[in-house]
Structure formats: C-alpha cells, structure tokens
Amino acid sequence: MDKALKIFFKIIKVLTVVTGVLFVIYFWNLDQKLMAWLYTVVNKIFDKKKSDIRF
C-alpha cells in the first residue's frame, strides 16, 4: 500500500510539472515564436540554393 502511494504521488508530481511547462509554452506563445525563428532560418538556407526552374 505504501509503495502504491509513493508511485501515485510521483505520477501526480510528473503530471503537474508537465502541465506547468505546457501552460508556460501556451501562455507566452513560445511554440509560434520558435516556428517563426525556424521559418526564417530555413528560408535563408533555401534562398542560397541555385534554382533550376525555368519559365
């Protein structure tokens, strides 16, 4: 019984931490800021490539 309670509280702690981290990411819109930065980096990489499309 004691071991089951320890495991239960450990699961509750992990879920609380995960929920807190996800709330911070959502509150400050960090996922969209990361994607905007990544988008600019990828565009710089692909803008350097020579295009072989002819119209």
Has residue 54 been placed in a domain? no
Provide the domain limits for residue 17.
Answer: 2-48
pLDDT for res 1 = 85
DSSP 11-30: HHHHHHHHHHHHHHHHHTTH
pLDDT for res 48 = 87
pLDDT for res 53 = 77
Nearest alpha-carbon partner for 15 in 23, 27, 4: 23
Has residue 53 been placed in a domain? no
Number of domains in the chain: 1
Residue-wise pLDDT tens digits, 1-55: 899 999 999 999 999 999 999 999 999 999 999 999 999 999 999 888 887 777 7
pTM, rounded to two decimals: 0.67
- Hey, what are 43's tokens? 């565009």
Q: 4-43: buried (b, 16+ CB within 10 Å) or exposed (e) per residue?
A: eeeeeeeeeeeeeeeeeeeeeeeeeeeeeeeeeeeeeeee
Has residue 37 been placed in a domain? yes
pLDDT for res 52 = 79
Has residue 14 been placed in a domain? yes
